[in-house]
Structure formats: structure tokens, C-alpha cells
Amino acid sequence: MTTISLFFGIVVIMYNEPYGKHHTPHLHARYAEYSCSLDFDGNVLDGYLPAKKLALLRAWVVVHREELEADWNLLAEGLDAFKIDPLR
């Protein structure tokens, strides 16, 4: 599990198990007591974030999609993911 970004109280985490349940590219986000999984198209796969925080996360995903895909590929190869700039 790698924390790849942190902004507005949202912690963005990614990990990959290529032959397990994590075969679809996605990220995990936590905010306070809430958490969700989001694919790289911004669709919620599981969980819940408050609407305003989810909107921020989705905007971040749009801006950083290529970097997210690169991190996903690095993790799939057993390498370390790199940090991605937060929303400002």
C-alpha cells in the first residue's frame, strides 16, 4: 500500500495485486471516517466519500490520469509508485 497523494484531508492510496482482487486499475481514498475505491474514470467502485470531497477527488483523477496509470503499472511490476502532486 502506497500513499501517492494528500490534499484537502483526502489521502490517496494505491496498491496492486495483479493476480488477486486488485486487477482493475483503481485507487483508494480516505477522508475522516470515510473511504472509497475509484477507477481512473472517476466511477466509485466501493465505499463512500462526502459529495464535495468526491468531486475534488474526481477532478484530481482527471488531471492526473496518466500519472495514475504509470503508478499502477509500476506497482504491477513490483516497483515503487511515485508521489503525485495534490490539488492546489
Each domain of the chain, given as residue ranges in start order, spans 2-28+39-76
Rounded Cα distance, 1 and 4, in Å: 9
pLDDT value at position 76?
Answer: 85
Q: How confident is the model at residue 18 (pLDDT cuts 50, 70, 90)?
A: low
Q: How confident is the model at residue 21 (pLDDT cuts 50, 70, 90)?
A: low
Cell of 41: 474514470
DSSP state of 33: T
Q: How confident is the model at residue 66 (pLDDT cuts 50, 70, 90)?
A: very high
Rounded Cα distance, 24 and 17, in Å: 9
Cell of 66: 496518466
